[in-house]
Every structure is written in C-alpha cells, then in structure tokens.
Amino acid sequence: MASPYSDGAREKVASKLPASLRQELKTRAAQLGIDMQDAVTEAVEQWRARPAGNNPTIDTAGAESWNTWLPAGLYDAFKADCTTRDISFVQGLAQAVRVWIDSHSVSLAELTIPQYTRRIVVCNQKGGVGKTTIAAGVGQAIALGLPASTGSSKLPALPPRRTLLVDYDPQGHLTSQLGVKQIAPGEESLVTHMVERERVAGTLLDQVVPVAPEHFGDRLFLLPSSFDAFLLDSRLGSVRGPREASLQRALAPLEEHFDTIVIDAPPNLGLAMDAGLYYGHRRRNEPVGVSGVLVPVEAEDSSADAYVMLDSQIRTISLDYEVEIDRLGLVVNKFDKRKGYVATHSLENWQALGTPPVVAVVPDLKEQREAVHLKQPLLMYAPTSIQAQRMREIRRRLG
C-alpha cells in the first residue's frame, strides 16, 4: 500500500462516513482553505476534548468506506476514547466531523471557493506535442502556488493547492519521467476501477504516490499508469452503465483529497478519450472556465489538423451527453522560431484563433529534456528556466 505520507508522521485511517457528511467536510475545508487531512485532525482532537454528552448522535446508516490520514498515534487514542464512551469508531468519527463543521461556520461573503475539485484534462489526439510536459509542469506550478506580482500589473498571489497528476496515457511517460514504476498487469489501478468496479476491493488512494514531497510541501501526487491501460478502449466496450462516465466514477473517491486533478490523456480519439473529455465537463453550479481541457499544440500544419479533429470530438461529446466542456486554452509547445516561416506563421494562426486563447508559448530548450533524463520534476530541477516560467504563466492564465 502506497501512502502519500512516506515519512511516518501520519498513518492511514480506513473507516466509514456518510456521503453527505463527507461532502460537507470537503466543502467546508475548501471554503476555509484547509487541507482535508488537517481538518479531520482538528475534528478528532476537538471531539476528544469535549465531554461525551456534548456530542450529537449521527445517523451512520449507509456510511461508505472512507480513507484519510491522521498524525501517528492519534487514531489509536481516538479509538480508545470511543471504547470508553461505548460508541463505534464510525459513530465517533461522524460526531467529530459534524462538530467540526458546525463550529467552523463561514459567512456568505466567504463562500467563494468552488464546491468541486478542479479538473484539467491535458489532451490532443496527436502524439509528440508534449502533453506530458505540460500536464506535469502545470500540476507542479499549481502545487507550488504563485506569489503576488510586484510589477506594474500587481497580480494577486495564487495559493498552493493539493494536486493530483493522473497518468491516463498507456505509454506511461508521466509515470516514467517522475521516476515511478508503472502498476503491474492484474494489480488494482485506474483501469480496474474503471472497468471492474464490482471486483475491486481496495481504493485508488492506495496507488497514489507523493512527488518530491520536500520540494512541493506534500502537495503534489501521482496516480501512476498501468500496463493494462493499453487494453482500456476494448475493455470499456463491455462496461455496464454509461461508458463516458467511467473515469469520473473511478476518480470520484479521490476528489475529496485534492484541490486539483490534472489528467495526462492518451493520444487518440477512442472511448478512453471520450471518458477523459467527459470528466472535464462543467458540473452543476461550477463556474465557467474552472475545469475543462487544456490543449498542447505545435507550430506546424499537422498539429492544426489534429486540433480540428479533437475539437470535433469535444463538440460531439458535449451534444451527445448534453454537457458543457470548457476550452481552457492552447499551449504552443516546443516552439523554435529558427524553423522559419512555417513555425512563425503557424504561431500567428494559433494566436489569431482567439477562442480558445493561447495561454503560453513554450520554447524547445534543453532543461525539460534534462529533467526527464534525470527523472526529476522540471520546477524542481530548473525552477528559474524559461520553460518553468512558462508553466507558471499557464497557471496564472488559468486562474
């Protein structure tokens, strides 16, 4: 079992919690800008300090499996208190969460943080355009946050966010570039949770691994690719229920643990891509432009042809399933003006498109290749490089 906390400071807690209470907890923690694990820690400590008679009894019928992390030793002390108070661990945890939510009210003026985890699907059906580079770089920039601008523009600070990178590409480049092993065939993975929901016994959270926790402050994580992903399109054909929602169903239990999920999508237009695009659709009451697709392209003709096909697929998914999929922007990647007229004219065409906008032009420089070779995140290996600056620029443009 992989735990995002590898230093032993926290331990995994497997329990149950009513779905409605879990959603309230996630929402309130987001509104206050508090990490979910920290919120639960506060809740348990607050509950332990209160007299037993002051805690409400919670209806836990139908409570669902739920995982979190607490400081080492706290859960054992909590369970001992539950035994002393003659209540189940599930009831004790539900009481703790309820009390914490009720004691951390938020005024209407403060209700500005979206209810949903932000979902950014980095996609293009053309291979070789640098989807993995952009997905990884944007995820790193979100996890690190941005300081306020001191220049004439005076842009506000963007706080660091707890971010999950999902390697949804069967080639596993994102997993390999970050020095992580792919999940072996037959083991639980994103694929099994998409196509074998009735058989999986664990949680996808068990497969999540931290990325350079010291550098990213325990805020950047990876769900590795699986060798089984090469068969995903064919296996999705036998899935019961709406196939387009299979990725959303698989990742739903992870959303409460992360502020942002960045998907490195496969380079094709098959069923897996349908599910990826659908995952990025705008959900009920979600503001426009929060979640959606980010499309890396190159400054050359074949990339433009590929974008037309991708845009057509986005339109088809939107119409068929009556959802809105926001185009967050284009990233002109691996740009090299030394390639001459074709490159410069193509860049002008991308910029003239207007909607979606070009959010950054990333030059083709050595730092990214060196970072991949050393299996290190770009913003850790070369944080002052031009490419790293462009990743922060994308983060800023996405808001």
**Residues 299, 374: one domain?**
yes
Q: Residue written as tokens 């032993």?
A: 8
Ranges under pLDDT 50 in the chain = 1-6, 108-114
299 three-class SS: coil
Which residues are CB-contacts of 174 (< 8 A; sequence separation ≥ 6)? 132, 135, 136, 165, 167, 222, 225, 264
**Residues 168, 296: one domain?**
yes
Selection from 140, 160, 145 nearest residue 35 by Cα: 160
**Residues 185, 333: one domain?**
yes
* pLDDT at res. 299: 85
**Residues 156, 280: one domain?**
yes
Structural domain span for residue 67: 10-110
What is the count of structural domains for the chain?
2
DSSP letter at 239 equals -
Is residue 31 domain-resident?
yes
**Residues 106, 123: one domain?**
no
Selection from 110, 123, 207, 217 nearest residue 163 by Cα: 217
Selection from 241, 247, 149 nearest residue 193 by Cα: 247
**Residues 96, 133: one domain?**
no
* pLDDT at res. 3: 42
**What are the strands, taking DSSP E only, across the chain?**
10-17, 64-71, 118-122, 163-167, 209-210, 220-223, 260-264, 292-297, 327-335, 358-363
Which residues are CB-contacts of 340 (< 8 A; sequence separation ≥ 6)? none
* pLDDT at res. 4: 45
H-state helical runs in 182-270: 190-195, 213-216, 232-236, 246-255
**Residues 126, 82: one domain?**
no
Is residue 240 domain-resident?
yes
User: What tokens were used for 176?
Assistant: 């390999």
The answer to whether the peptide bond before residue 356 is cis (omega within 30 degrees of 0) is yes
| Max Cα distance, the chain (Å) | 77
Is residue 3 domain-resident?
no
Residue pair 221/178 in contact by the 8 Å Cβ criterion: no
**Residues 59, 198: one domain?**
no
Residue 217 has φ and ψ, to the nearest 5°, of 60, 35
